Chains A and B, each alone.
Chain A
């Protein structure tokens, strides 16, 4: 069975704080893909990053960084120096190479206060 767990339902931080959103996944596939999406209040999901199961290199994009660890089946997302515009719901997702299904976690609502 495939599953994605985002244990943090809601996180509230003050602007300029760093914040990490956790994501733990389960799959028996050897080839799979992990994603992070952002859902602002407008509702449309915005793609942030994709990682395949063979690439454990961490990635940094501006204030965003991602830590992929196969040993712990985790794909955590860190926002450095958070801003009010980062307030949104963030989803972690897993895609199986066999079925193509994209399975989402429950989502983490991030509120960044000024």
Chain B
């Protein structure tokens, strides 16, 4: 079974800190995605990547960056964490651009204080 693993389930960081959220998938998927989930807003796409070293902005990229140096790993970076980035972050992967389903990690609940 496909496994998408996020490095932390819960994280508490201080305002201004640089934060790394890591995501690893074990099925050689080309595509990887980062979403944030907020009540009443559903899941919103932050960044996605179709291949190693490739990235594209999603709908809410401001305040975030990403890194994909290896196919199996997709990192979300908060350069200077702010309280409005307190949220649930979900990573996903899929095999290609078309209709294949996405597989999700268990989520990281980030609190910025």
Q: Is the CB of A100 within 8 A of B31?
A: yes
Q: Could you say which residues of chain B place their CB within 8 Å of the CB of A44?
A: 104-107
Tell me whether A102 and B33 are in contact (CB under 8 A).
Answer: yes
**A47–B106 alpha-carbon span in the complex (Å):** 13
Is B78 at the interface (CB under 8 A from chain A)?
A: no
> Are B99 and A42 in touch, CB under 8 angstroms?
no
What residue of chain B has the Cβ atom nearest to residue A9's Cβ? B40
**Of B11-19, B43-51, B68-76, the one with at least 4 CB within 8 A of chain A:** B43-51
A43-B107, A44-B106, A100-B48 known; A33 vs B99 contact (CB < 8 Å): yes
Number of interface residues of B (CB under 8 A): 28
Q: Which of A6, A33, A104, A105 contacts B98 (CB 8 A)?
A: A33
Size of the A side of the interface (Cβ < 8 Å), in residues, is 26
B112 within 8 A of A: no
Q: Is the CB of A97 within 8 A of B106?
A: no
Instruction: State the A residues within 8 Å of B (CB).
Output: 4, 6, 9, 33, 35, 37, 42-45, 47, 50, 52, 91, 93, 95, 97, 99-107
A and B contact pairs by CB, cutoff 8 A, 30 listed: A6-B42, A33-B98, A35-B101, A43-B88, A43-B106, A43-B107, A44-B104, A44-B105, A44-B107, A45-B90, A45-B92, A45-B104, A47-B101, A47-B102, A47-B103, A50-B101, A91-B42, A95-B98, A100-B50, A100-B96, A100-B97, A101-B48, A102-B45, A103-B45, A103-B59, A104-B35, A104-B43, A105-B42, A106-B42, A107-B42
